[in-house]
Chains A and B, each alone.
Chain A
Amino acid sequence: MLCIHSMYSGINISQTDARPMYLQIMEQIRARVAAGDWAPGKELPSIRALAAALSVSVITVKRAYLDLETEGVIVTRHGKGSFVAEVNGLAGELKEEQLGEHLAAAAEIGQLLGLTADDLAARLRRALKDLEKK
């Protein structure tokens, strides 16, 4: 069905699969990251190397990497290559940004409800405890 070089064996691209090839590549990389086979910080094959290994066009792999980057699964450093993001699933900066946004929203709602800073802090501690129980 395809050419797999041993280095990336397991990534399979099927042309009879209804999903576009770039989505198939994304899904299989995501699965490897989620399973921990590709650890945070691991360098991904270069776009051209993966394209050659899978016999798919460079533009297809480029598209997959760009979308994975937007999702926060990988981070691309110019001139250095692409790496599995440090924080599972999301790049650190992205998570940080998200946290800021949620805290700001929580503060705003707290104010609307007339909660003090201590009340809010207590609520946050309770939320953390609930999380631990789960």
Chain B
Amino acid sequence: MNDKHIEMRGVRKVYRFFSLDDVSLELEPGQIMGFVGPNGAGKSTTLRLAMGMIAPDAGEIRVLGHEIPRQQAVAKRDIGFVSAEMRLLPHATLGWHMDFMRSIYPEWDGSYAATLVKRFNLRTEQNARSLSLGEHVKATLLLALARRPRLLILDEPTTGLDPVARHEVISEFMDVLRDDSRSILFSSHNTVDVERISDTLTFIDRGRIVDCANKEDFLERWRRIQVQLPPGAVLPDVPNIVKRETDGHFVTLTTNQFSEGLLKLIGPHVTHVQRMNLEEIFVTNVMYHREARGQ
């Protein structure tokens, strides 16, 4: 039985100026996956492939057990998709949109929708045209959340939101995950949000997956190690160093496989061992992989 919510294997999509190559990812029920990459890395393309909005040139995609794009109509009944590009009908009110969704989706939860209107500080009688950017994002999220889909696929859901609105929206995502049979895949370049709420992380750069692991592993594995060498001393060769900066007697090593054993190998001149936040890990990781690929 296939119980993964998303399964992509060796997915490829070639465009004239951009190609996505060998993309594989897996999302388990009950999890939030943060999909992180610079602008133009292929985040939106990957999410659109998962939604069946575009067909892959190679590879396999299964979402909620359905083969995509062939069975996308069935899969989509249980997927809520929101992207920053989505536009509500400008001359219709939020209430009209809510009625429309209710008429299509039998799972529409009217009382939850009403709660969200209040929590997100929206007004049902307001025309979409007059919504601010942040309100518009919250309105599209509301329309997806109130269907209570098993899987939420969100493309940059917090972009354009002020800190308060971001906070409201993120609390709502966490609330979804109280139910361990539901899951969220969301792309973002805001590593602060991703670091806070994701269970697993996938880094993408220039159309390729750079790294993928559970968040705690990421944060445990990466460290910056500072060394001060006495005159004449030489740093031994140690493995798993992705970056090395030397400034006179001071050396900073960045590792993606930290262990006490590694510290022993480096020797007695270590002065500091620092944890890294997700943003630092992300940038170092991307630069390291670009170098390794000779780009």
Contacts and interface: CB of A to CB of B under 8 A. Distances in A.
Contacts of B197: 55-57
A36 B280 CA distance: 39
Nearest to A51: B174
Contacts of A22: 216
Contact of A55 (B30, B171, B200, B275): B171
B57 interface: no
Given A48-B178, A48-B180, A51-B177, A59 B171 contact: no
Contacts, number: 54
A15 B195 contact: yes
A59 B199 contact: yes
A2 B192 CA distance: 12
Nearest to B168: A3
B196 interface: yes
Contacts of B192: 15
Nearest to A46: B178
Given A15-B192, A18-B275, A63-B216, A58 B175 contact: no
A20 interface: yes
Interface string A45-73: 00011011001111110010000000000
B178 A56 contact: no
B30 A60 contact: no
A58 B33 CA distance: 11
Contacts of A3: 167, 170-171, 174
B215 interface: yes
Interface residues of A, number: 19
B196 A55 contact: yes
Contacts of B177: 48, 51-52, 58
B217 to A, nearest CB: 9
A2 B167 CA distance: 8
A15 B174 contact: no
Q: Which of B31, B32, B197 has the most CB of A within 10 A?
A: B197
B145 to A, nearest CB: 14
Contacts of B196: 15, 21, 55-57
Contact of A52 (B174, B199, B275): B174
Contacts of B30: 58
Interface string B273-285: 0010100000000
A57 B32 contact: yes
Contacts of A18: 275
Contact of B175 (A15, A52, A60, A63): A52
A58 B215 CA distance: 10
Nearest to A1: B167
Contacts of A49: 178
In order of increasing CB-CB distance, the 8 nearest A-B pairs are A59-B199, A52-B174, A3-B171, A57-B199, A48-B178, A55-B174, A52-B178, A63-B216
Given A52-B177, A58-B199, A60-B215, 11 more contacts: A3-B171, A3-B174, A15-B192, A15-B196, A15-B277, A19-B275, A22-B216, A52-B174, A55-B167, A56-B196, A57-B197
Interface of B: 30-32, 167, 170-171, 174-175, 177-178, 180, 192, 195-200, 214-216, 219, 275, 277
